[in-house]
Amino acid sequence: MTKPIGWELYRSFLAVLAEGSLSGAARALGITQPTVGRHIAALERALGQVLFTRSQTGLLATDAALALRGYAEAMHSHAAALERAAAAQGPGVSGTVRISASEVIGIEVLPPVLARLRRDHPRLTLELAPTNRVQNLLLREADIAVRMAPPKQEQLIARPVGHVDIGLYARKDYLRHRGTPATLADLAGHTLIGYDTETPFLRGAGKRLAVPWSRDSFALRADSDLAQLALIRAGAGIGFCQVALARRDRRLAPVLPDHVSFQLETWITMHEDLRASPRCKAVFDALVQCLLAHTGATR
């Protein structure tokens, strides 16, 4: 490489990886297909590597492209963080803050506090990323994260906000129809809602209860926690639910609460470089108060 490679080439590269075609990447980026094609060709020349091969289903990433993907995604995250920081310059709380949280916390718990933040700070823009994937704060994939484990990186600051209680729940009409389990063994005669892919949570639950739960234990399977919650609320069977959320729904009843109960410690985290940012401090403090109330730590 005789000269630096422009960021726009990597942006097109990521779009082709995500969309699987030049036309799809062009639509996603709002540019023309020939432009994307020129970007990919220029990047391949600069790197001396073939990045994509054609197939009947579109463009397939080569091993070289897959090896470069993580670095390009890190560039993308840092570029987005730079734009958020630049937009926040000036007095007061303004600019963009990106928040990462689990599916259930992001959709069931955070919306009211985000609405209040917008009312209190009209120049604040909030990006919510509800995902069970742990987003990397060091790579600036998000500014602030709600996590169910303390951060290990020294560059992150964190505030514990209590424990999220988890238990088994079902709709009351399901229990009236099928009966309420009195023992763990009784669960075998019920419709259980759980994961399609074995998870650390499932393995840990099985060990603590001495119950060999596996994928085959569940008659209704979904890797989305929101899908599982919807199935419980629909009366489809018995599944794991946050206690605080179940208490909001009078149709739900606990199942074996003395036998099945877990706690997930919860933290609000952000990069220490954002400590002095008015926009991040306002959001961080609001999320702390929201989660303290949700976990009952303020009571």
Same CATH fold assignment for domains 7-82 and 93-162+265-295: no
CATH number 1.20.1070.10 is the correct assignment for the domain at 7-82: no
Q: Is 0.85 topped by the overall pTM?
A: no
Give 150-202 pLDDT, tens digit per residue: 887 778 889 999 999 999 999 999 999 999 999 988 998 999 999 888 766 66
Residue-level pLDDT, tens digit, the chain, 299 residues = 556 778 888 889 889 988 888 899 899 888 999 999 899 998 888 888 899 988 877 888 899 888 888 888 888 877 777 776 766 566 678 888 999 999 999 999 999 999 999 999 998 999 999 988 876 666 678 889 998 888 877 788 899 999 999 999 999 999 999 999 999 889 989 999 998 887 666 666 666 665 667 788 899 999 899 999 999 999 999 999 999 999 999 999 999 999 888 888 999 998 888 888 888 899 999 999 999 999 987 65
Q: Name residue 56's amino acid.
A: Q
Give 74-101 pLDDT, tens digit per residue: 888 777 777 767 665 666 788 889 999 9
Boundaries of every domain in the chain: 7-82, 93-162+265-295, 165-262
On whether the CB atoms of residues 41 and 93 are closer than 8 A, the answer is no
Question: In this structure, what DSSP letter does residue 109 have?
Answer: I
Please work out, in degrees rounded to the nearest 5, the angle formed at the alpha carbon of residue 132 by the alpha carbons of 138 and 243: 125
Exposure letters 203-220 (e unless 16+ CB within 10 A, then b): eebeeeeebebeeebbeb
Selecting from 3.30.470.20, 3.40.190.10, 3.40.710.10, 3.40.50.620, what CATH number does the domain 93-162+265-295 have?
3.40.190.10
**Alpha carbon distance 47, 52 (integer Å):** 13
Please give the CATH topology (third level) of the domain spanning 165-262. D-Maltodextrin-Binding Protein; domain 2 (3.40.190)
